[in-house]
Amino acid sequence: MKLLCDRIRKDGQILPGNVLKVDGFVNHQIDVRLFSEMGRAFYQAYRDCGVNKILTIESSGIGIACFTAQFFDVPVVFAKKSRTSNIPDAVYAAPVHSYTHGNDYQATVATRLLGAKDRVLIIDDFLANGSALRGLCELCRQAGARVVGAGIVIEKAFQPGGRELRAEGLRIESLAVIESMDERGVTFAEESLR
């Protein structure tokens, strides 16, 4: 998605450790016009898949999941990263490692919110090593839900997550695919620039 790639080049910051900071328009402050266009792109990619639920993980995926869900006219479920007192005992749970935060946690979804009748589109802001996406797929597996695919805002193709998950049969549509990045800038895969 050229619009997103242009914005990353203009406002993204590359930090040590292969971290791309996009907090000014994706995951701290949200550019609603950009999010609407990204939601439309995910809808175009998956509109014929019978999606009846969007699944994401808190917190950065929630915004784009909501914009995407508007086009599908379906609810958004987001996996929680920590248990709180108002979470029921009946949950699906999967381990996830956060690349950015460098920690492990259990992603959970209440069992009443995800079931065997659901055709799920997973939405997330980043795909690098694939741990969050694997965890969300595991939650769907536990629920008996069918994952129709994943919509990713930014994929770091130089890290193994996308390649491994595609090899396992998961359909992944990423709006901006980064082939490399360093202090000189970002190199996008050709398909991202359309």
Total domains, the chain: 1
- Tell me the whole-structure pTM to 2 decimals: 0.94
| Rounded average pLDDT over 128-145 | 97
Say what the pLDDT of residue 169 is. Answer: 98
Task: Quote the domain boundaries for residue 155.
Answer: 2-193
CA distance 7 to 22: 9
For the ranges 56-60, 81-85, 176-180, the maximum mean pLDDT occurs at: 176-180
pLDDT in tens, 37-68: 999 999 999 999 999 999 999 988 999 999 99
Say what the pLDDT of residue 35 is. Answer: 97
CA atoms within 13 A on the CB side of 49: 24
Say what the pLDDT of residue 183 is. Answer: 85
CATH of the domain at 87: 3.40.50.2020
| Rounded average pLDDT over 120-136 | 96
**Does the pLDDT value for residue 88 go beyond 70?**
no
- Mapped to the 3 state alphabet, what secondary structure does 34-97 carry? HHHHHHHHHHHHHCCCCCCEEEEECCHHHHHHHHHHHHHCCCEEEEECCCCCCCCCCEEEEEEE
**Does the pLDDT value for residue 149 go beyond 90?**
yes
